[in-house]
Structure 1
Amino acid sequence: MENYPICLAAYSTDKDRIKSSSGGIFAEIAKRVIDNSGIVVGATIDTEGKVYHKYITTKEEIYDLMGSKYVQSDVGMVYKSVKSFLKEGKQVLFCGTPCQAQGLINYLRGKPDKLILMDFICHGVPSFKVFNTYLKEISEGREIDRINFRDKENGWLDYSFKVKYKNGDVFKTIFRDNNYMKGFIINFFLRPSCYECGFKGINRNTDITMGDFWGIEEEEPDFYDKNGVSVLLLHNEKAKQLITDIIDVIVSKEIDVEEVIKHNPSLVKTSEKHIMHDLFFMTMRRGVNRAIEGIIKPNKLQKVRNKIYRGIYKLYSKTSLFQPKDKTTGKAPVLYTEKDKCCGCYACVNTCPKGIISMREDQEGFMYPVIDKNLCVGCNSCIKVCPINNSINKN
């Protein structure tokens, strides 16, 4: 019997791979699903920088779902749509973060045969508020036409953050020189639950885990391609068959998963909360660029401020300045006690039989579920689907 996961390096031979973040494998699988009259669900981004999940039914729409978006996605009521399509007997491909995928599994009470689940090697998710603020700063009133976090015009390894404006202007910087990408990589503004992520590891409940094959020039130099190479973890027979179905349009090679972990540790390791996380959010009201530069390139006054902040942080390291607790009482269950206990997957919103759970933005710009306790019947459906698996509140 085959041992799973099987780890592959792979890339599409289609010219449209240049539009993907790495090897373009998601697009190839999506095409086959649509050829089978199936539905593809993934994240897209609008011109204000909001990322949200939607479903598509045509190949022309696949481009909307391609590419990395370094902002937390609003899942909305997509889980309900997935359930409806599955009931109709349609094949559904769902791609999302590991916690979103687990939220869908819990919502569906399992993994139907017609469902293809893809997650990816996730570093963590920033909030829409941070990214939208940053966009406004760099755009200076110009209308945005398209946002690309991973433009590969200079090659996959030297990708750029790029914003194209409707007036023809372009903002473009290599990722290592871009303040937003620096803050993301250094972990200034990830969601609190990302620093306590329970969905790491090479063994997952999804069918396929995707990621970039960073370090390929060292580990597999003969397989390197400047337009991007993906790494795939196939977790079961379904995944293996999916790759077999697209073998005529991809190039692939089996590799040792340790080659991946060495250069992409987010596969197995949780991002570490930066000591300046809270300081960033306290100073962000004056601008994202200014907040980031005040930490990584501080002037004399900021150096003093940063030193004082570090000292205070070490004294109160077990307390966050942004950790209010859910005060829901009575028969309504407690959805989370602290913010690192909620990944914002929207499973509870989708499953509530009364439709009385909504998402509310906090000071950092992350969305958290809130129950209308006056209408709650105490069924605990929301707790049962939570991927972080909070214990049921007993009254």
Structure 2
Amino acid sequence: MMSNYPICLAAYSLNEDRIKSSSGGIFAEIAKIVLDRAGVVFGAAINTEGKVFHKYITKEEELQDLLGSKYVQSDLGNSFSNVKSFLKDNRLVLFCGTPCQTEGLLSFLGNKPDNLILIDFICHGVPSFKVFHNYLQEISQNREVEKIFFRDKENGWLDYSFRVEYKNGEVYKCIYNRSNYMHGFIYDLYLRPSCYSCSFKGIDRNTDITMGDFWGIKEEEPEFYDKDGVSVLILHNEKSKQLIDLVQNKIKFIVIQVDEIVKHNSSIIKASDKSIMHDLFFFEMKKGVSHVVEGIKNPNIVQKVRNKLYRGVYKKIVAPRSLKRINKASAQKGSIPVIYINKEECCGCSACLSACPKNAISMREDKEGFLYPKIDKSKCIGCKNCIRVCPNKNLEKNRQV
């Protein structure tokens, strides 16, 4: 394997865990290496209400909870503080998250310890828990949820389905391009505001490995295609190459060019474009997620007129007033730090919460269901640790870590 970085690979695991993973199952193989060395693995899990949250595991039998994509923003809770504690105990730690979450962790730590393995992925953006929870309730119709799979590969990796299993034995299954939730996600109807101006795009990253789906494999590397899923990996440093060396007998891989990744997965270098119907979706979401998405995707005559009028009004009136209102509502005076002014500036990584020495910061849900830091003025001492660890405010500093 070449040694100039970044190195790009197409890869997939030879283990059965690949079926439970979204694409090639490489994360699972690396996680097992960490767990075999008495390490700790942090990743995103999902509960039966549709809430996605980061947790850590120390045993291989717990790994199943962290496999598979979850198209909802993860609540990090105290994950950053826990990572720091394990690192201080000289434990090997693997943390996997969105690009903004990994940057937030680096900002919080202030450096990149040798015993920390960072994995991020090619991120399209994140919807809120509120959107997904509402959608889950709509399709479940009071049935108790047992398991949720955003990328069920029963029909193959490229024709994945959204699948929900219920405690009564029933199953809801919908191929991705017919799912209103997945449609709204892919077409940027309800991503977090910061996702539309994401600062963490690009090929070169501070993580060790960037992972994603090799969507263009049939065009670029047809002989390497496998129906159960193929990942693209971008190795950023020697540590990542050593990790691949450790699992090379458990995976199959070939070296590819970065252009093969970018051509078919532009989210690696480009932020999602905010749908002009974003605000309309949240305004009408109380009518039902599926109903609103369908009315935007396949509108009837009345909805077509509404959509056309909304587009015109939004451009001329709603958008300018909305931005002004956010600026006014977020302005603060005195010694209380201003963590963000516009919502686009906050990725919700919760680094500020973890860094506050007085527990003066909590993450509060806004009307769209996204979490934002809220400062308790009675506890704040004005130390501005929250500002120092904000990844959006420390982009240049983090690039030197």
Same fold (TM > 0.5): yes
> Is the 8 Å Cα contact of residues 278 and 321 (structure 1) preserved in structure 2?
no
Aligned match of 2:171: 170
SS of structure 2 residue aligned to 1:163? strand
SS of structure 2 residue aligned to 1:248? coil
SS of structure 2 residue aligned to 1:269? coil
Aligned match of 1:55: 56
Number of residues paired by the alignment? Answer: 391
Measure how far apart 1:3 and its partner are. 1.9
> Is the 8 Å Cα contact of residues 155 and 226 (structure 1) preserved in structure 2?
yes
Aligned match of 1:124: 125
SS of structure 2 residue aligned to 1:388? helix
Measure how far apart 1:314 and its partner are. 2.0
1:333-359 deviation per Cα after TM superposition (whole angstroms, max 9, x unaligned)? 001000000000010000100011001
SS of structure 2 residue aligned to 1:155? coil
| 1:387 and 2:391 matched | yes
| 1:353 and 2:357 matched | yes
* Larger mean Cα displacement after TM superposition, 21-30 or 320-329: 320-329
Identity %: 64
SS of structure 2 residue aligned to 1:330? coil
Aligned match of 2:268: 267
Q: How does 1:1-395 map to 2 (within 5 A)?
A: 2-316=3-317, 318-319=319-320, 321=322, 324=326, 325-389=329-393
Measure how far apart 1:319 and its partner are. 2.8
Whole-angstrom CA distance in 2 between matches of 1:350 and 1:41? 16
Whole-angstrom CA distance in 1 between matches of 2:249 and 2:65? 24
What TM-score results when the alignment is normalised by the length of structure 2? Answer: 0.96
Change in Cα spacing, 1:190 to 1:251, as seen in structure 2 (3 Å) is same
Whole-angstrom CA distance in 2 between matches of 1:158 and 1:244? 31
> Is the 8 Å Cα contact of residues 336 and 390 (structure 1) preserved in structure 2?
no
> Is the 8 Å Cα contact of residues 33 and 93 (structure 1) preserved in structure 2?
yes
> Is the 8 Å Cα contact of residues 359 and 379 (structure 2) preserved in structure 1?
no
Whole-angstrom CA distance in 2 between matches of 1:106 and 1:155? 39
Change in Cα spacing, 1:327 to 1:118, as seen in structure 2 (3 Å) is same
Amino acid at match of 1:99: C
Amino acid at match of 2:10: A
In structure 2, list runs of 5 or more residues that go unmatched: 396-401
Amino acid at match of 2:79: V
SS of structure 1 residue aligned to 2:392? coil
> Is the 8 Å Cα contact of residues 84 and 109 (structure 2) preserved in structure 1?
yes
1:181-212 deviation per Cα after TM superposition (whole angstroms, max 9, x unaligned)? 00000000000000000100100000000000
CA RMSD of aligned residues (A): 1.3
Change in Cα spacing, 1:390 to 1:333, as seen in structure 2 (3 Å) is farther
Measure how far apart 1:329 and its partner are. 2.7
